[in-house]
Amino acid sequence: MSRLGDLIKLERTRRGLEPKAVAKKAGISVGYLLEVEAGTRIIRDDQARRILKTMGMEQPQETDFTLDDIASTVDLQSAMPRAVQGVQKKKAEKAEAGDAKGGEGLAGSIWLDALSGVLQHVPIYNAVMKEVGSRLLPVQDGKVEGAPKDKVYYFKAPDDDLRGFRVHRGDLVLVVPASAPQDGAIMLIETPQGKLLRMVKILPRFQAMLQKYDQAFESEIVNIADLKVVGRCVRLEAELS
């Protein structure tokens, strides 16, 4: 199966185009196009872009997304029936409006639908909250890991304080918003020394134990009311060495 082939087929179906018409515009044979769509012939990203462009889809100029990025995060098979329904509905709407030109243009393409709906560049911040990179993550219902997509970010571990909890210096932890500590979770907290990662254990009498474990286990007990929680860590990305 070729996901780029599925993407081409989905875009062609959305636009109500026949394989023969697309092949002619792209300067390829119908057989080649059908083999690409069926996944029996491998196609490069630049070739897929050229075929998609012949269907009237312009390339966004201000993104770092590739077609492979899009194809890997879109359920193309389940989207196909919806695409057919969408084409039929748009044709009906155009007929009612007296629009005889047809064509969906850039705004209606699967490319931009995918960019705006299923992919998000999530920033990576260091200990002083300076952006040092980003990661591409899938979006579901406008959220990443259950949180608003524009509120999540990666925090780069500045030290080995949580080595015993499998978080090493330079590892990336995905942080989602949180205002209260959660028992048994790694939390990003604000302290006079800056932002720190700590394992949290909730104690009686409205207290919490902040744990770290490098060469030896250490802990600090604080009042929850005095604890300033920035977020909860829900994912770890580590470099293998």
**Position 47 confidence tier, pLDDT thresholds 50, 70, 90:** confident
CA-based end-to-end distance of the chain: 33
pLDDT exceeds 80 at position 105: no
Is the pLDDT reported for residue 238 higher than 50? yes
Domains and CATH numbers, the chain: 3-118 (no CATH), 140-237 (2.10.109.10)
Global pTM reads: 0.57
Say if residue 215's pLDDT is above 70.
yes
Q: Quick one: DSSP state of residue 15? A: T
pLDDT of residue 100: 44
> Given this model, what pLDDT does residue 48 score?
86
Indicate if the pLDDT at residue 42 is higher than 90. no
Q: Which residues contact 212 (CB under 8 A, 6 or more apart)?
A: 161, 162, 198, 199, 218, 219
In tens, the pLDDT along 182-202 reads 999 999 999 888 899 999 999
The whole-number pLDDT of residue 65 equals 55
Percent helix, strand, coil in the chain, to 5, is: 35, 30, 35
136, β-bridge pairs: 121
Question: Mean pLDDT across the stretch 139-165?
Answer: 91
Of the listed ranges 60-69, 120-129, 223-232, the least confidently predicted one is 60-69
Please give the average per-residue pLDDT across 103-131, as a whole number.
68
User: Which DSSP symbol is given to 104?
Assistant: -
- Check whether 155 has a pLDDT greater than 70: yes
Task: In whole angstroms, give the CA distance from residue 110 to residue 115.
Answer: 8
pLDDT at 236 exceeding the cut of 90: yes
Structure tokens at 72: 């890997």
Strands (E), the chain: 119-125, 131-138, 143-144, 147-148, 153-156, 172-177, 186-191, 194-203, 207-213, 217-223, 228-237
Residues whose CB falls within 8 Å of the CB of residue 46, separated by 6 or more in sequence, listed in order: none
- The confidence band for 73, taking pLDDT boundaries of 50, 70 and 90, is low
Average pLDDT of the residues of the chain:
80
Q: Look at residue 63 in the predicted model and tell me its pLDDT.
A: 47
pLDDT at 62: 42
pLDDT band per the 50, 70, 90 thresholds, residue 121: confident
Q: Mean pLDDT, to the nearest integer, of 227-241?
A: 88
Under the banding of pLDDT at 50, 70 and 90, the label for residue 148 is very high
Interatomic CA distance for residues 61 and 201, integer angstroms:
48
